[in-house]
Structure 1
């Protein structure tokens, strides 16, 4: 059985040692996977054991207080690729994913706005040109529109300029 590639060097080394590149993949059988949601995989991490690992598995059947800390760790690594702490640690580059996602979103938004400006909106109306606005303002002053609080109330008709 082929296991999923783990992120730790120990697991990668075990993967290279345990599974040769021409190992047949049978997807109808159970496979190993490290997931926090499913803490106990269907099969152990290592299935093809070395003679040292086989001797350690035999020693495992005896009393555990006779096993050293290194032997217990080796037994753990036979069954599991990563510990919970290693699974939860992350790779340290999550910020790159977030920055990339934000930049991608900004790029898509920019392209969308450019597309709208080029293909959706028509040309800018001539009524928004500075010359037209100046003529329209002068026309409103000449017509004395809204003389109480509007534009005409701010124009000095005696001096032909804006009130100060």
Structure 2
């Protein structure tokens, strides 16, 4: 009985201890959006304001360039120059397309050598005769010859 009581007490303590770990986000508030066509987002990039914000209330000439940049970063994640900068995604696209084309070329070369066999250098009469005999044996002709007794049907 004592063991079950200790087990239930320790279990309830563990459950209470982990209640504060899981926190859900509030999706009813607007989110930060960094876009060129939407220049002023509804929400600041950084939620907690720093001591630098208090220093901003004084003269702007007392702020250094780095401090001015930090103040800008409180509201915005990227500047317009950073948003306009191109990405290197085109390298990935060109590289994967080249890889696909090379892989396809390897498959075609493998098929030409192992599936189709070697091609004859010149179409001599002996080779044409053998191929014609093979086609006639397989009845590959698109127009099938009808026997005379089949015409009457």
TM-score band by shorter chain is: 0.3 to 0.5
TM-score by length of 2: 0.45
